[in-house]
Amino acid sequence: MITELGHFALILAALVAVVQMIVPMVGAQTRRASWMAVAEPAATVQFLLVGFSFAALTYAFVVSDFSVRLVYLNSHSLKPMLYKISGVWGNHEGSMLLWVLIVALFGAMAAWFGGNLPPSLRARVLAVQAAVGVAFYAFILLTSNPFLRMAVPPFDGTDLNPLLQDPGLAFHPPFLYLGYVGLSICFSFAVAALIEGRVDAAWGRWVRPWTLAAWIFLTIGIALGSWWAYYELGWGGFWFWDPVENASFMPWLFAAALLHSAIVVEKREALKSWTVLLAILAFGFSLIGTFIVRSGVLTSVHAFANDPERGVFILAILVVFTGGALTLFAARANVMQAKGVFGVVSRESALVANNVLLAVSSFVVFVGTLWPLVAEMLFDRKLSVGAPFFNMAFPPFMVVLGLLLPLGSMLAWKRGNAGRVMRSLLPALGLAVALAGLVWAMQSGRTLLGPVGVFLGTWLVAGAAMDLLARTGRNRDLKRLFRLPRADWGKAVAHGGLGITMLGIAGLMAWEQEDIRVTQLNATYQVGGFDITLTDVRDVQGPNYIATQGQVILARNGREIALLQPEKRNYPVARMPTTEAAIDYRFLRDVYVVIGDRQADGGWVVRTYIKPLANWIWAGCILMSLGGLLSLSDRRYRVAAGARKATPKGVPAE
């Protein structure tokens, strides 16, 4: 009964979304306050209905109701509760229900916290957001219904994909979707502004917190997915340039560009058309990512579905919304003329360069991701674009971006003095050069990747610190640091986090050591100065799996450091093996051990990796997210931006 109520609530939510899409938009066009006022309660009711629908599906998973087809295909009675719940979104249908839940959530939040917006703009924002929801409600109800019943309920389920039965993957999709779908509200603001003919400083201030929230969630989601891939897949890497990884990375790059571009709109009323375009492209690339994940056009270890018919439906949504918004953008370009002027050397110019680098790097990833598909369609050739292409084409843009960030963040608005800023940054530059030189000397002329990464990372971290220090004045009154706006602290922490992530990536890629061998029990071998001994291999029974578990002693200079227990698991229901790496996490390095199959001579295959600075990658991501949260908590985001602008002529006051 609860399942049927959930299905009915989803249909009602779709109908409410249709009302929210039409009535407020017509009201804004005809200047009818009562019609525009429909948007807020409709957004709240829609969220409550789809929230109940999602709760009903979650209940079916929790109680193992195998009469629901989706539960049968993605759960099992012996599965731990965490994975029963995460099974709700660990599949195509449930993840799409989570998608529309988040669309409705952001629409409701815009209704709850958008009281400072002009009535007509608020009505249009909520109407466009509802239109996005309507498209995906139709997609779910017509092609991906999660509430389908089975005529003869089976005794038990077929289990969730074992790779997804992990805490990291339990929380990775919700955060990623909050970022993906959060960009829909930025898209709604952009389209509403184009219809309204209003893109000004107040609009820039309104759109920034939404962009920042989506970017924070995307950062957390991508970091969780990267960390999961590192410790769960047994490959020992953090990023593989897989199409689905790229699908989340491209919107992140565009969101970062949009975040910086909106600052220029707010502060200087410049880059209006570019900022609106970025808002459209950021959500457009989220839709492209959805298409890649669910259409089956590209092969990926992460893909949710392999259904061309569903892919065509999503492609139609992509074309309608992105194509329609770009057409509207072209038609309304005349309302977005910039007011502010600025010199070549200025913070505005630095932010323009930042935007161009981020956007171009995103398009590089886009071309590399889709080129195999294009080559097969146009030239009938099967090509593979893998890590070598991306590792050559992408990093140069990030190197230039890293060099520019500390300088650009300290330049003055309108007209800056590069010489004065460089003099302020000389201590940071000296420290970065010194550390890079030290690393170059210590590694005896090996790859440049290590020294360059150390230089960039140090330059970014030290540059962020010098930016804060410069705000204490000539007398270096450190008490002024505690009076700085949180957005200034957030910027410094986020830029420093990017530097630490760059350090971690460079260190891991430049100095990683790998050893693969067949070893006998109690035989000791050395990797990177560590003594490694496989002392025992035993069978272990898990809640819904059987594992072969190794006992590995890690020692150095005769002293035992850790006991590692790598596993090779087999899930009988899913009939799928997985690898569980054992990792000794330390500040400057990880020791990563994976056990393989037993050999004919009685030995065991063991892979051992020494991974320098691996944890710095995710520590930097945490700092970037923390910087975003600090900026989002700035009180200036809670001040009514609309108070600075008069209500548009002809719109009734509320």
DSSP string, 494-548: HHHHHHHHHHHHHHHHHH-EEEEEEE-TT-EEEETTEEEEEEEEEEEE-SS-EEE
262 with 204: CB under 8 angstroms?
yes
- The verdict on 108 and 254 lying in the same domain is no
Q: Measured between alpha carbons, how far is 139 from 607 in angstroms, rounded to an integer?
A: 45
By C-alpha distance, which of 561, 549, 563 is closest to 595? 549
Lookup result for tokens 């460079």: 506
- The verdict on 3 and 99 lying in the same domain is yes
415 with 345: CB under 8 angstroms?
yes
- The verdict on 23 and 106 lying in the same domain is yes
By C-alpha distance, which of 270, 289, 259, 494 is closest to 355? 259
3-state secondary structure of 570: strand
- Tokens found for residue 562: 């850790």
Helix (H) or strand (E) holding 559: strand 559-564
Helix (H) or strand (E) holding 608: strand 604-612
Helix (H) or strand (E) holding 609: strand 604-612
Structure confidence at residue 397 (pLDDT): 94
Structure confidence at residue 637 (pLDDT): 65
φ, ψ of residue 134 in degrees (nearest 5): -60, -45
- The verdict on 215 and 155 lying in the same domain is no
3-state secondary structure of 573: coil
Structure confidence at residue 9 (pLDDT): 97
Q: Measured between alpha carbons, how far is 538 from 521 in angstroms, rounded to an integer?
A: 12
Written as one letter, the residue type at 3 is: T
Q: Measured between alpha carbons, how far is 185 from 550 in angstroms, rounded to an integer?
A: 49
Identify whether 607 is part of a domain: yes
- The verdict on 234 and 159 lying in the same domain is no
Angle at 584 between CA 581 and CA 587, to 5 degrees: 130
Identify whether 85 is part of a domain: yes
User: Which residue intervals of 345-448 are DSSP H helices?
Assistant: 347-379, 387-393, 395-410, 418-442
- Tokens found for residue 456: 């960039």
- The verdict on 142 and 206 lying in the same domain is no
Written as one letter, the residue type at 403 is: L
Q: Measured between alpha carbons, how far is 215 from 192 in angstroms, rounded to an integer?
A: 21
Helix (H) or strand (E) holding 630: helix 614-632
- The verdict on 123 and 59 lying in the same domain is yes
By C-alpha distance, which of 598, 606, 601 is closest to 533? 606
Domain with 563, as residue range(s), is 513-614
Q: Measured between alpha carbons, how far is 506 from 474 in angstroms, rounded to an integer?
A: 36
- The verdict on 155 and 220 lying in the same domain is no
Identify whether 84 is part of a domain: yes
3-state secondary structure of 74: helix
Count CA atoms within 13 Å of residue 294 on its CB side. Answer: 24
Buried b (16+ CB within 10 A) or exposed e, 422-455: eebbeebbebbeebbeebbeeeeeeeebbbbbbb
- Tokens found for residue 537: 């291999």
Structure confidence at residue 306 (pLDDT): 55
Identify whether 127 is part of a domain: yes
- The verdict on 210 and 88 lying in the same domain is no
Identify whether 456 is part of a domain: no
Identify whether 488 is part of a domain: no
Query: Where does residue 473 fall: left (phi above 0), alpha (psi -120 to 50 degrees), or beta otherwise?
Result: left
Q: Measured between alpha carbons, how far is 517 from 181 in angstroms, rounded to an integer?
A: 45
- Residue ranges, the chain, pLDDT below 50: 301, 303, 640-654
Identify whether 620 is part of a domain: no
Last residue of a domain, one of 139, 165, 191: 165
φ, ψ of residue 396 in degrees (nearest 5): -55, -35
- The verdict on 364 and 244 lying in the same domain is yes
- The verdict on 270 and 381 lying in the same domain is yes
By C-alpha distance, which of 257, 222, 258 is closest to 242? 222
Q: Measured between alpha carbons, how far is 545 from 597 in angstroms, rounded to an integer?
A: 17
Last residue of a domain, one of 385, 406, 427: 406
Identify whether 436 is part of a domain: no
3-state secondary structure of 115: coil
Distance of CA 436 to the CA centre of its chain: 30
- The verdict on 518 and 569 lying in the same domain is yes
Number of domains in the chain: 3
Q: Measured between alpha carbons, how far is 93 from 170 in angstroms, rounded to an integer?
A: 16
Last residue of a domain, one of 148, 165, 182: 165
Structure confidence at residue 155 (pLDDT): 87
Beta pairing, strands 589-598 & 559-564: unpaired
